[in-house]
Structure 1
């Protein structure tokens, strides 16, 4: 089978030419199939008596997969030509180029490739040579390419773009048969086209004059070749058919095109003699993020998309329902990541809240990329609101962003239909808006808009602010926070951004003070957004970890509440417990050389304090760069000791040169030379977690430096 792709600007007459060529080939005994690849779906009309046939995309939209049959989408037209039409989406909805991909895939699955055909003609819209409409240019679909043009500049410009697209699918052999001039009667038309073709290095294989025979034949629903077989036009069409047959038999050569550059196109548009091209192939500007990498050094991986960030933020508001406009795979992965981890931690007693599945999905599939997903969102949102949900956040994934779904209009319409409900629009479009953190920020901006800033603060209430509350989600540490606040007669009003109700969020300003869960970049950024919206400033110190921070925090809280004596009593009791713990374990640590490596988004001051109090020697304090953002500053009381932007290569060198007894690190690292390894654990809040961690480190040091089985293996 020989396959020919006929390309041209919309309205230039390529479908008319394709139908005439197909009939001519069929008249000489060839078995021909013509596939129209244009949303206008009129390619085969002149082969079917002027009647439009069912398009593949309309068929796909209305027919379940198990009911689809090839004979439903192909018809036999004049001369026995087998006809098929791709069709397209509704205007302004979906992606027509994606529809071409679906058409080809559907025809293949239904068995079109196994049909007894000598020549297959693809009639393709050439105005936009996107990935979908460029499919027929691929080597497996086009053995030869014919360009149809007129003498108008935009028609030749489109032909030039098609030649550029062809170079992106270079099969290693020439594939352009030539150019057909379908005349419009413009002055100097043939001269312009021949000049263009010569500059591009391809021949003009036919000049089709403007003739009323076309109008007469089309009015009767037939081709000129069928109605007027002896006409001059039919003779020229037959010549093209002969060239195709000769090319199929290897009797006629094909050509490599040389697309015109911008300067040459300007000459063509101005009617000047076209200057010689540079001879260099057209450069394709590659996306720096998409090229193949030869090393993973200095490569940060996107943790997740903005859609997941926005979704996870809104799912922390317990009476909000999230409508995810996207495929079920996105819903599954996001729900498993968010609620799955909650379930796992809750079952172990490490997470105080049972998982909730306040998430619904529009279940977008491949068809919506062609036909649009607006209707699915309308139906899903209406069902959710009618089902009793009165607070809804609509989060968009990649697919609706790519195909251009007007989700804002859907949300606006739903809000008008349900004025009692709160419907929030989060157009994250998957990763278009950025990564996970960017999605969280988008959501926080919207969530903060729900806070009633007119609410007067009340003494005795505090807000906790943090992107992660993992350290205080277990009942043990949550109780410890409550106990610490109770020393000063305080209790929690709102945990932002954590599990909370809408009413709690609205009354955020009831608290008289905002306290960071931890002094890390993400929390500082979150607090700055709160400050910008409410004018509230954070408390001087975050929730403490370790003895030093505990004492400082207690004194600051005592000064703020006028209960300094209570603070000093609490500090004294905590210090006694801490010193007793340190004294019991000091002998295991004295003289031990320790390397401590942590991440930028976590403070390790408590660990440095603990190791120093235990008598260990810290030979290296390093900090890995932020996994999410560049330019994030570390925050530590030990900046003079801290090596920022620490790397695994530096760790390798330090392990060899410093010979530590203990490596404490965020990452699992294979130690050697008698060095033990410990993970930096979550120390909770206050003092209790630090004392537990001291016991953990002591147990690590009790273990043999080298496993016996490893030595035996060597």
Structure 2
């Protein structure tokens, strides 16, 4: 038995050659199975007298799995050749390569046994660089590869690319049976093919001349072997069939690089390509506004403003841009997010959002419908839509959602539609005319292809801002916007209330939360605020701030949400100065100063002189240091771990403690052994430490306001009163 894959450039005549080869093999008494692996599904047409048969992919689309049968897909043609066609989507939609994968999986599931045949022949579209079309090259499928080419350079170029694919699968031994020359005409020069074959050390196993008999046979929907069995053309296929069926010698695939290929095939020195490239460069200058390469971005290129930290520094990606985008769009009340992708992707995103909502409810008793019941609808892609394209399914989903008259619809792609290239803009244009009053906004995500969770958050924020904010509005009244809150933090709502209460004491109201628990109207009215407040001055917050400065000229407060007394007093003073409310701020700060002093006086006797070590992902720990220093503690070491959210360590206490960035767990263990602090503070307290030590957690998102540090200091005082080691651990076991 032998399995043969026939590859070659589209339109080179593979299907005609494959059908004639199968007919010749059958005429020689071989049991033959021919599988067409081309969306045109015309590979077996000449074997089936021109009859159109259902393709495997159409069959999967039309027939439920419980009713599928292999007999519906296998069709007997000339000479008893068993024929099957994979099929594929219409040009420009879906993924034909995925279709080939699905076809082979279907055949396997339905029990196709290739061992029942003497020869299995795969007719494969060969000028597409796609893993799906490489399926016949994988282990267990074709064990001999025939590459069809003509004398034309582009056909040979495609043949060379095919050899590159064959080379990638040569690990289990060589499989290239040779090159088959399908001539374009009697006057064509075969020497380019001969030079190419010699250069790649592959035999030319056949030469098919240009003949009118092929055209005449095709008019009657037959092969030359069937229509003209006693002709030289048929004899060529009889001879080729005998040689291929008798376990031919196979050689390694040795593809050429493009420059050498042109030099050998065209017989030149490669200067043509160089000259053409020079002409192209001068005729079409580089777009100065095009995105810079990542190496330039990392050095401060302009497009860095739109990249998450993990993307910017090429770190391992944390989470998925699809989920990140949805975590933002579902915060808009009255809007609906359409997740274009498989149901499982939406489920994962939903679980992430629900987790944030549950934590918020547990922490402060808050119930946010947008987190516990987000307005999220899935287009429910499956294997069929991955092959044929998800456009129809997305259109249907959008029309169903738009019929409910939402205030806006966000469309977010997961990986599969991003991979197959569903055109969101075109699909949205198709449905917009029927629902002119509802904005439909595509958000760049493509699952995790475009980046990590934070990249999805950034894309949703910036693209949503561009689409919804009215740039013509001017500030009015004492209003502020709040930006860059952490929607999945368990204290996001309580932190906002604390900030809103402090602002209310100055007579300032919140105009828009960008983007948390907001509305489309709030977003449109973003420009009515006189000042914008960042919740966090981390990488995300800074990128968002720079975007609004550049795009809308928005004014920002100098500091993010404050934690601890110093930051809160500074924050209020700056905001009050902007709004002309300095007197009210001074009185408010004075009231809190008295309360803070009273609280620290009660804590100081329990904490003074205690030695503290801090290990944190957070790059701004001044609120912890302020509390520790005000309580009389000694800060022995601060280790700053690498973090997906930030990379800029800053402190106003420079010189008062030892700090090390890029900290590791190994360094932490060594420092604990050397320093032996009274108290270790970490974001996550490790389960096993080299010494027994009092340890407490640092929240990744601390509580804001004047008392943010004091609340933790109370925990430290209580913790340090307890024995460093539980007493029961010292109990001796009772004698037996």
After TM superposition, the score normalised by the length of structure 2 is: 0.87
Q: For each residue in 1:207-256, what CA deviation from the matched residue of structure 2 results, as whole angstroms up to 9, or x when unmatched?
A: 22222222222222222222322222222212212112220xxxx43222
Query: Which residue of structure 2 lines up, in the alignment, with residue 270 of structure 1?
Result: 266
Query: Which residue of structure 1 lines up, in the alignment, with residue 149 of structure 2?
Result: 149
> Alpha-carbon deviation of 1:347?
4.7
Residues 358 and 639 of structure 1: CA distance in aligned 2, closer, same or farther (over 3 Å): farther
Query: Which residue of structure 2 lines up, in the alignment, with residue 197 of structure 1?
Result: 197
Given that 2:441 and 2:464 are in contact with CA atoms closer than 8 Å, whether structure 1 keeps it comes out as: no
Query: Which residue of structure 2 lines up, in the alignment, with residue 504 of structure 1?
Result: 522
The question of 1:703 aligning with 2:722 is answered yes
Given that 1:55 and 1:73 are in contact with CA atoms closer than 8 Å, whether structure 2 keeps it comes out as: yes
Cα distance in 2, alignment partners of residues 41 and 533 from structure 1: 51
The question of 1:655 aligning with 2:672 is answered yes
The question of 1:520 aligning with 2:535 is answered no
Given that 1:153 and 1:268 are in contact with CA atoms closer than 8 Å, whether structure 2 keeps it comes out as: no
Residue aligned with 2:595, SS: helix
Query: Which residue of structure 2 lines up, in the alignment, with residue 295 of structure 1?
Result: none
The question of 1:484 aligning with 2:502 is answered yes
Cα distance in 1, alignment partners of residues 536 and 12 from structure 2: 66
Residues 185 and 708 of structure 1: CA distance in aligned 2, closer, same or farther (over 3 Å): farther
Alignment of 1:633-672 (within 5 A): 633-640=648-655, 641=657, 642-669=659-686, 670-672=688-690
Query: Which residue of structure 2 lines up, in the alignment, with residue 685 of structure 1?
Result: 704
Residue aligned with 2:93, SS: coil
The question of 1:34 aligning with 2:31 is answered no
The question of 1:306 aligning with 2:321 is answered yes
Matched residue count: 686
Unaligned ranges ≥5, structure 1: 275-286, 289-297
Residues 637 and 362 of structure 1: CA distance in aligned 2, closer, same or farther (over 3 Å): same
> Alpha-carbon deviation of 1:186?
5.1
Query: Which residue of structure 2 lines up, in the alignment, with residue 316 of structure 1?
Result: 331
Given the alignment, which residue of 328, 336, 342 partners 2:357?
A: 342
Q: For each residue in 1:352-377, what CA deviation from the matched residue of structure 2 results, as whole angstroms up to 9, or x when unmatched?
A: 52323211111111222211111111
Given that 2:413 and 2:445 are in contact with CA atoms closer than 8 Å, whether structure 1 keeps it comes out as: yes
Unaligned ranges ≥5, structure 2: 271-293, 296-312
Residue aligned with 2:251, SS: coil
Cα distance in 2, alignment partners of residues 116 and 575 from structure 1: 88
The question of 1:529 aligning with 2:525 is answered no
> Alpha-carbon deviation of 1:37?
1.1
Given that 2:22 and 2:32 are in contact with CA atoms closer than 8 Å, whether structure 1 keeps it comes out as: yes
Given that 2:478 and 2:509 are in contact with CA atoms closer than 8 Å, whether structure 1 keeps it comes out as: yes
Q: For each residue in 1:633-654, what CA deviation from the matched residue of structure 2 results, as whole angstroms up to 9, or x when unmatched?
A: 2333224444333333432332
The question of 1:378 aligning with 2:395 is answered yes
Q: For each residue in 1:269-298, what CA deviation from the matched residue of structure 2 results, as whole angstroms up to 9, or x when unmatched?
A: 324699xxxxxxxxxxxx99xxxxxxxxx9
Query: Which residue of structure 1 lines up, in the alignment, with residue 481 of structure 2?
Result: 463
Given that 1:23 and 1:81 are in contact with CA atoms closer than 8 Å, whether structure 2 keeps it comes out as: yes
Residues 589 and 407 of structure 1: CA distance in aligned 2, closer, same or farther (over 3 Å): same
Given that 1:352 and 1:474 are in contact with CA atoms closer than 8 Å, whether structure 2 keeps it comes out as: no
> Alpha-carbon deviation of 1:118?
1.7
Given that 2:93 and 2:388 are in contact with CA atoms closer than 8 Å, whether structure 1 keeps it comes out as: yes
> Alpha-carbon deviation of 1:423?
1.3
> Alpha-carbon deviation of 1:158?
1.8
Alignment of 1:28-67 (within 5 A): 28-67=28-67
Given that 1:307 and 1:395 are in contact with CA atoms closer than 8 Å, whether structure 2 keeps it comes out as: yes
Query: Which residue of structure 2 lines up, in the alignment, with residue 409 of structure 1?
Result: 426
Given the alignment, which residue of 342, 348, 355 partners 1:327?
A: 342
Given that 2:565 and 2:707 are in contact with CA atoms closer than 8 Å, whether structure 1 keeps it comes out as: no
The question of 1:441 aligning with 2:437 is answered no
Query: Which residue of structure 2 lines up, in the alignment, with residue 158 of structure 1?
Result: 158
> Alpha-carbon deviation of 1:453?
4.3
Query: Which residue of structure 1 lines up, in the alignment, with residue 368 of structure 2?
Result: 353
Residues 438 and 683 of structure 1: CA distance in aligned 2, closer, same or farther (over 3 Å): closer
Query: Which residue of structure 2 lines up, in the alignment, with residue 279 of structure 1?
Result: none
Residue aligned with 2:612, SS: strand
Query: Which residue of structure 2 lines up, in the alignment, with residue 170 of structure 1?
Result: 170
Given that 1:468 and 1:497 are in contact with CA atoms closer than 8 Å, whether structure 2 keeps it comes out as: no
Given that 1:36 and 1:85 are in contact with CA atoms closer than 8 Å, whether structure 2 keeps it comes out as: yes
Query: Which residue of structure 2 lines up, in the alignment, with residue 586 of structure 1?
Result: 604
Given that 1:448 and 1:533 are in contact with CA atoms closer than 8 Å, whether structure 2 keeps it comes out as: no
The question of 1:363 aligning with 2:380 is answered yes
The question of 1:256 aligning with 2:252 is answered yes
Residue aligned with 2:713, SS: helix
> Alpha-carbon deviation of 1:150?
2.0
Residues 10 and 485 of structure 1: CA distance in aligned 2, closer, same or farther (over 3 Å): closer
Query: Which residue of structure 1 lines up, in the alignment, with residue 301 of structure 2?
Result: none
Cα distance in 2, alignment partners of residues 31 and 430 from structure 1: 46
Cα distance in 2, alignment partners of residues 300 and 181 from structure 1: 49
Residues 481 and 8 of structure 1: CA distance in aligned 2, closer, same or farther (over 3 Å): closer
Cα distance in 1, alignment partners of residues 650 and 429 from structure 2: 43
Cα distance in 2, alignment partners of residues 127 and 694 from structure 1: 68
> Alpha-carbon deviation of 1:549?
2.2
Residues 597 and 183 of structure 1: CA distance in aligned 2, closer, same or farther (over 3 Å): same
Q: For each residue in 1:603-623, what CA deviation from the matched residue of structure 2 results, as whole angstroms up to 9, or x when unmatched?
A: 221110111111110011232
Cα distance in 1, alignment partners of residues 110 and 239 from structure 2: 34
Given that 2:146 and 2:177 are in contact with CA atoms closer than 8 Å, whether structure 1 keeps it comes out as: yes
Given that 2:325 and 2:459 are in contact with CA atoms closer than 8 Å, whether structure 1 keeps it comes out as: yes
> Alpha-carbon deviation of 1:128?
1.8
Residue aligned with 1:222, SS: coil
Query: Which residue of structure 2 lines up, in the alignment, with residue 280 of structure 1?
Result: none
> Alpha-carbon deviation of 1:710?
6.2
Residues 554 and 372 of structure 1: CA distance in aligned 2, closer, same or farther (over 3 Å): closer
> Alpha-carbon deviation of 1:472?
8.9
Residue aligned with 1:645, SS: strand
345-354 vs 602-611, which moves further: 345-354
Given that 2:180 and 2:206 are in contact with CA atoms closer than 8 Å, whether structure 1 keeps it comes out as: yes
Given that 1:472 and 1:481 are in contact with CA atoms closer than 8 Å, whether structure 2 keeps it comes out as: no
Cα distance in 2, alignment partners of residues 83 and 263 from structure 1: 40
354-363 vs 517-526, which moves further: 517-526
Two-structure CA RMSD over aligned residues (Å): 2.8
Residues 438 and 617 of structure 1: CA distance in aligned 2, closer, same or farther (over 3 Å): same
Q: For each residue in 1:5-30, what CA deviation from the matched residue of structure 2 results, as whole angstroms up to 9, or x when unmatched?
A: 11222222222221122122222322
Q: For each residue in 1:314-342, what CA deviation from the matched residue of structure 2 results, as whole angstroms up to 9, or x when unmatched?
A: 21111211111111111111111113421
Cα distance in 2, alignment partners of residues 470 and 193 from structure 1: 62
Given that 1:471 and 1:683 are in contact with CA atoms closer than 8 Å, whether structure 2 keeps it comes out as: no
Residue aligned with 1:443, SS: helix
Query: Which residue of structure 1 lines up, in the alignment, with residue 241 of structure 2?
Result: 241
Residue aligned with 2:345, SS: helix
Residue aligned with 1:189, SS: coil
Given that 1:350 and 1:474 are in contact with CA atoms closer than 8 Å, whether structure 2 keeps it comes out as: no
Q: For each residue in 1:561-590, what CA deviation from the matched residue of structure 2 results, as whole angstroms up to 9, or x when unmatched?
A: 555554444334323332332232323322
The question of 1:87 aligning with 2:87 is answered yes
Residues 232 and 389 of structure 1: CA distance in aligned 2, closer, same or farther (over 3 Å): same
Cα distance in 2, alignment partners of residues 384 and 567 from structure 1: 47
Given that 2:196 and 2:265 are in contact with CA atoms closer than 8 Å, whether structure 1 keeps it comes out as: no
Q: For each residue in 1:539-580, what CA deviation from the matched residue of structure 2 results, as whole angstroms up to 9, or x when unmatched?
A: 344333212223333444555555555444433432333233
Q: For each residue in 1:420-463, what CA deviation from the matched residue of structure 2 results, as whole angstroms up to 9, or x when unmatched?
A: 11111223222333222222222222333323344443444333
1-10 vs 191-200, which moves further: 191-200
